[in-house]
C-alpha cells in the first residue's frame, strides 16, 4: 500500500461522513490513514493480526477464505462505502479472511488506538465510522442468511 494524504474535503465527499461537523471531520482526518492499493495487492491475510479496520473510498476488493487444502475461495466482494476488517474492532481473534484489491483502490484505515481518540475527542465521528461498519456487517449477515436458507430448500 502507498500512503496518501487525506483532507477534510476528501472525507466530506464520502456519504458516510458528509453530515459530520468541521471539527469532527478534522479529528477524523487526523486519526485515520489513507492508502492506495494496486490491483492484486493484499490488504491483509487470513490468520493475520487484528488491529485496524478499513473504509473503502474507491475501488473494489475480493474477500477470500481458506477452504481446506484446496486454497482460497471467494466468499464476497466489497466496494465504496463498505468496511473491511471491522470484526477486529469487536474481537481480538486473527483475521478471518484474506482481502485483495480487485481494482485500483483507496482505503481509509482506522486503527484501534484511533477509535479510542475519536471516542474521547469526536464521538460523532466515531459514531459515523461505527454506523458504516455495522451496516456492512448487517448486509453480509443478511446475504449469509439468504445463502443458508437457499441451501436448506
The domains located in the chain, with CATH, are: 2-112+123-152 (2.60.120.10)
Residue 46 pLDDT class (50, 70, 90 cuts): very high
- Residue 70: predicted pLDDT: 73
Q: What is the pLDDT of residue 69?
A: 78
The yes-or-no verdict on residue 18 having pLDDT over 90 is yes
pLDDT given at position 147: 87
pLDDT tens, 87-138?
888 888 999 999 999 999 999 999 999 999 999 999 999 999 999 999 999 9
In whole angstroms, what is the distance from residue 121 CA to residue 114 CA? 10
**Per-residue pLDDT averaged across 65-69, rounded?**
84
Q: How far is CA 125 from the centre of its chain?
A: 15
pLDDT of residue 23: 95
16: confidence class by pLDDT, cuts 50, 70, 90: very high
Q: Using DSSP, state whether 135 is helix, strand or coil.
A: helix
Beta strands in the chain (DSSP E): 2-4, 33-37, 42-44, 52-58, 61-66, 72-78, 83-84, 98-101, 105-111
- In this predicted structure, the answer to whether residue 71 has a pLDDT above a threshold of 90 is no
Q: How much of the chain exceeds pLDDT 70, in percent?
A: 100
Mean of per-residue pLDDT scores for the chain: 94
The residue ranges of DSSP E strands in 49-150, in sequence order, are: 52-58, 61-66, 72-78, 83-84, 98-101, 105-111
Please give the model's pTM, rounded to 2 decimal places: 0.91
Per-residue pLDDT for 68 more than 80? no
Amino acid at each position: 500500500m502507498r500512503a496518501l494524504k487525506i483532507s477534510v474535503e476528501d472525507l466530506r465527499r464520502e456519504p458516510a461522513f458528509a453530515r459530520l461537523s468541521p471539527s469532527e471531520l478534522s479529528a477524523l482526518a487526523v486519526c485515520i490513514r489513507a492508502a492506495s492499493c494496486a490491483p492484486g495487492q493484499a490488504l491483509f491475510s487470513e490468520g493475520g493480526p487484528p488491529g485496524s479496520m478499513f473504509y473503502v473510498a474507491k475501488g473494489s476488493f475480493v474477500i477470500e477464505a481458506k477452504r481446506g487444502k484446496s486454497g482460497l475461495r471467494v466468499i464476497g466482494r466489497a466496494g465504496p462505502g463498505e468496511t473491511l476488517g471491522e470484526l477486529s474492532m469487536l474481537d481480538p481473534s486473527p483475521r478471518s479472511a484474506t482481502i485483495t484489491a480487485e481494482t485500483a483502490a483507496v482505503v481509509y484505515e482506522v486503527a484501534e488506538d484511533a477509535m479510542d481518540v475519536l471516542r474521547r475527542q469526536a464521538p460523532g465521528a466515531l459514531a459515523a465510522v461505527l454506523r458504516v461498519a455495522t451496516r456492512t456487517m448487517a448486509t453480509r449477515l443478511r446475504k449469509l442468511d439468504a445463502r443458508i436458507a437457499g441451501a436448506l430448500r
